[in-house]
């Protein structure tokens, strides 16, 4: 006859300690599992304990992850599920399950998941006290307990009921942050952090001069010129053959300054060198020290009337100036030609009347402008313009003026000796005076030969007849 009285030993199979569905086990600590197994061995008959003990071991296993395959409580439990907890004695030989443990040994509970479990296969762990299991209504024999599901072998399998979600403990995560967690902005912060691109190394580049190859300064005036280069690393700049009054200063940034007051005019060449770890570059820098044009030729140009001639105009200055003149100022038959080297030439055959013409000549360059007032003289040979017959009154003194022509003004002289009562005076301006010395004797006569000279062509000669009467 079957005994229907409740058996306290079957309280270990209460639905509150079983999973809600087959294949999912409740999560519990090792102390609870050990207590359940020990109670089953002590209170149940040996035949029934052989069935209940394996089931209790399976029920007390920690909850499997959602991705893990469900456990079959009837199948042989894995080695990790049947291993005795730390501090428990080994089972006796020939026994069907683990040995009954001695006093409970406190062990650390397995780490709780970092957040609430989700999904139908993930259940919150049962609330566990200080190592005791609560009592529940039990059934005996092979009768199925409420809330249990039959196993494939026909043995009953208990399915514990999950507590409400509000009672599920949430344990903080103790996992150390990974490199990805550190680099990722906080969730909900709205910030996005793009990865920093690697900085490309700048390759070495040999020095190269980028400034002009010609420096222009002014003689006697302060000035400067900047030398520029490119290259990596920044090159150092040096100079040789630097002219007097100038010096080069390297600024250490790929540039240098040539500065000073040139003590010369003209042209020179400086040798520049740019040096770095990437190589060396050289450059020849032409120096031009400019100066204002200056006329070095005379201020008078002589031409002979009717005869071809020329006159050279010369200057100094850097750069060489251009020379010009107003053609309207030049005598007829003459013109000015600029030679392009700081010189010019006035040439031609003057057809204008003899005389002096003032011509404004200009020398112009980048350094400045200079003017010269040039006298162009058209010369002609000497000639007498006065009469050749002279008559003085008897017993009285007298004078006669001799005149000439010619440019320059001719000089007048008397060839031969004059009688004692006559004299001749040359005034140096192309004129002269023939005069008596004392009272002129009555009836006296004389023949004189006068000569006019101005170095242009042949001398002019005139025979003068003098009479007193």
The domain ranges of the chain are 1-166, 205-291, 296-380, 385-468
Let me know if the fold of 205-291 is the same as that of 385-468: yes
User: What topology does CATH give the domain 205-291?
Assistant: Immunoglobulin-like (2.60.40)
Q: Which CATH superfamily is domain 296-380 in?
A: Immunoglobulins (2.60.40.10)
Among the listed residues 450, 379, 382, 433, the one whose alpha carbon sits nearest the alpha carbon of residue 410: 382
Q: Are 300 and 377 within 8 A, CB to CB?
A: yes
pLDDT recorded at residue 196: 73
Q: Would you tell me which CATH number, out of the four given (3.40.50.2000, 2.40.50.100, 2.120.10.30, 2.60.40.10), belongs to the domain 385-468? A: 2.60.40.10
pLDDT recorded at residue 47: 55
pLDDT recorded at residue 413: 96
Task: Take residue 258 and report the two structure tokens written for it.
Answer: 């040539």
pLDDT recorded at residue 107: 45
Instruction: Summarize pLDDT for 135-160 with one digit per residue, the tens.
Output: 333 333 334 444 444 444 444 444 44
Residues in Cβ contact with 142 at an 8 Å cutoff, skipping those fewer than 6 apart: 155, 156
Q: Which parts of the chain register pLDDT below 50? A: 1-29, 60, 62-90, 92-183
pLDDT recorded at residue 52: 55
Between vectors from CA 452 to CA 451 and to CA 454, what angle results, nearest 5°?
140
Rounded Cα distance between 274 and 251, Å, is: 12
Rounded Cα distance between 456 and 218, Å, is: 46
């Amino acid at each position: 006859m079957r005994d229907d009285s409740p058996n306290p030993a079957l309280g270990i199979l209460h639905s509150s300690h079983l999973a809600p569905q087959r294949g999912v086990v409740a999560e519990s600590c090792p102390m609870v599992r050990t207590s359940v197994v020990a109670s089953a061995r002590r209170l149940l008959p040996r035949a029934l304990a052989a069935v209940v003990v394996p089931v209790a071991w399976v029920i007390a296993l920690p909850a499997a992850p959602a991705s893990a395959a469900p456990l079959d409580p009837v199948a042989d439990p894995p080695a990790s599920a049947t291993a005795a907890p730390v501090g428990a004695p080994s089972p006796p030989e020939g026994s069907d399950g683990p040995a009954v443990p001695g006093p409970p040994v406190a062990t650390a509970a397995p780490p709780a998941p970092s957040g609430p479990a989700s999904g139908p296969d993930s259940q919150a762990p049962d609330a566990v006290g200080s190592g005791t299991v609560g009592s529940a209504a039990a059934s005996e024999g092979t009768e199925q307990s409420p809330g249990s599901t039959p196993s494939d072998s026909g043995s009953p399998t208990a399915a514990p009921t999950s507590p409400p979600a509000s009672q599920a403990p949430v344990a903080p995560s103790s996992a150390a942050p990974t490199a990805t967690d550190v680099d990722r902005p906080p969730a909900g912060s709205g910030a996005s952090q793009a990865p920093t691109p690697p900085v490309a190394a700048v390759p070495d580049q040999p020095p190269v001069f980028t400034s002009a190859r010609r420096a222009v300064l002014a003689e006697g005036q302060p000035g400067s010129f900047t030398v520029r280069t490119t290259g990596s690393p920044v090159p150092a700049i040096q100079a040789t053959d630097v002219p007097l009054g100038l010096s080069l200063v390297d600024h250490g940034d790929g540039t240098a300054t040539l500065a000073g007051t040139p003590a010369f005019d003209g042209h020179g060449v400086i040798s520049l060198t740019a040096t770095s770890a990437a190589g060396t570059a050289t450059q020849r820098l032409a120096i031009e020290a400019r100066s204002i044009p200056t006329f070095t030729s005379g201020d008078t140009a002589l031409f002979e009337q009717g005869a071809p001639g020329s006159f050279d105009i010369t200057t100094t200055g850097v750069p060489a100036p251009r020379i010009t003149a107003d053609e309207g100022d030049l005598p007829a038959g003459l013109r000015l030609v600029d030679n392009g080297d700081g010189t010019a030439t006035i040439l031609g055959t003057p057809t204008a009347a003899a005389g002096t013409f003032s011509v404004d000549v200009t020398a112009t360059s980048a350094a400045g402008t200079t003017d010269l007032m040039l006298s162009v003289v058209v010369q002609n040979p000497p000639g007498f313009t006065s009469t050749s017959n002279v008559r003085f009154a008897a017993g009285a003194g007298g004078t006669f003026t001799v005149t000439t022509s010619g440019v320059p003004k001719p000089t007048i002289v008397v060839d031969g000796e004059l009688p004692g009562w006559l004299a001749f005076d040359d005034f140096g301006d192309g004129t002269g005076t023939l005069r008596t010395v004392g009272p002129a004797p009555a009836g006296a006569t004389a023949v004189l030969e006068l000569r006019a000279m101005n170095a242009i062509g042949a001398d002019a000669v005139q025979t003068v007849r003098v009479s007193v009467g």
